[in-house]
Each structure stands twice: as structure tokens, then as C-alpha cells.
Amino acid sequence: MAKQHVSFKLNGKQVDALVEPRELLVHTIRETLSLTGTHIGCETSHCGACTVDLDGKSVKSCTVLAVQADGSELKTVEGLADAGGLHAVQKAFIEEHGLQCGFCTPGMLIRAYRFLQENPNPTEEEIRWGMSGNLCRCTGYQNIVKAVQTAAKTLQQA
């Protein structure tokens, strides 16, 4: 099948790629653009490890075609830190031990980043609801919830 040209902004930089129509966005990000922070967990749209920020919305990049990202603005976990250091959600996950094996963490971070813009001052229940598209097999979620609470406080104070 003929490849198609796509062009989008990835973590602030304009990038181009040639993709087959059937190529999933997560493969383009990981294999063509070599940003392997975004993980593939289930490949069946359940786990959220592949979550990225597409035009300001959290999506599962294993369930979006790369051709659909043409002209969009994308952010992955690699785009969270800036010259000033780690992002508040990243720092909070370290402080609160919001991870064990770390496999789910990139998805958790990029989702938490967006969730705290949707709801800057969430209750615990709202955090659990807002993060429910991301599965973790290690932590039992307690420390992930704490990390999101801590990040919310930091971001509110900033």
C-alpha cells in the first residue's frame, strides 16, 4: 500500500513521516520517530500505557491511525520536562513513589498532565475517575493517586 506523508508538531517540533494507512500512531512515534517513552501494553485499547496528548486531549495512540494525526499537535512523556527540569507531575511521582516497575508510568504522567488541566483541584474520587483509562499492575494505585494530589498542589501554588 502506498505510503502517505504526514506532518505534525511533536513536543513542539514539526516532524514529518511516511506512513502506511494502517500504521498505528504509537508505532510511528516509537519506531519511526524513535521516541520510546510511549509504551505499548495491551494493544487492545485497554491499558492506557500508550496514552499521548493529541490536540489537547488524552488519547490511546494504539487506537489512532498515524494518518489521522496529520496536522495535529502531539505531546508525549518526553515533552513534559523543559529547561527548568522535570514537570511537577514527574517530580510528584518520584516523591510519592507513584511507580514500581515503571511500565505504566509514561501513560500515567501524560494523562495526569492533561487531567490536571481539565480539573486543577480534583477530589480523590475525581482523580480515580479521571485516571481510570490507565492501568497499573504494581502499585495498587494508592501512590499514583497521592502523586496526582501532590502535583495538583504544586501546580496550584505555581
Ligand X SMILES: Cc1cc2nc3c(=O)[nH]c(=O)nc-3n(C[C@H](O)[C@H](O)[C@H](O)COP(=O)(O)OP(=O)(O)OC[C@H]3O[C@@H](n4cnc5c(N)ncnc54)[C@H](O)[C@@H]3O)c2cc1C
Interface residue list for ligand FES (CB under 6 A): 40-43, 45-50, 60, 62, 99-104, 136-139
Comparison of 117 and 132: residue with beta carbon closer to ligand X: 132
Beta strands in 40-145 (DSSP E): 51-54, 57-60, 73-75
Minimum gap (Å) between residue 21 Cβ and another protein: 4
Q: Are 107 and 51 spatial neighbours (Cβ–Cβ below 8 Å)?
A: yes
From CA 118, how far away is CA 141, in angstroms rounded? 20
95-134 positions binding another protein, by CB under 8 A: 111, 115, 129-133
CA–CA distance, 54 with 112 (Å, rounded to integer): 14
Query: Minimum CB separation from another protein for residue 18, in Å?
Result: 14
Q: Are β-strands 13-19 and 73-75 bridged in parallel, bridged antiparallel, or unpaired?
A: unpaired
Taking the complex as a whole, how short is the minimal distance between the CB of residue 116 and ligand X, in angstroms? 23
Q: Which stretch binds another protein (CB under 8 A): 29-37, 39-47, 88-96, 138-146?
A: 39-47
Q: What are the start-end ranges of the E strands in the chain? A: 4-10, 13-19, 51-54, 57-60, 73-75
Q: How far is the CB of 132 from another protein (least distance, A)?
A: 4
Choose among another protein, ligand FES, ligand X, none what residue 138 binds, the Cβ cut-off being 5 to 8 Å by kind.
Answer: ligand FES
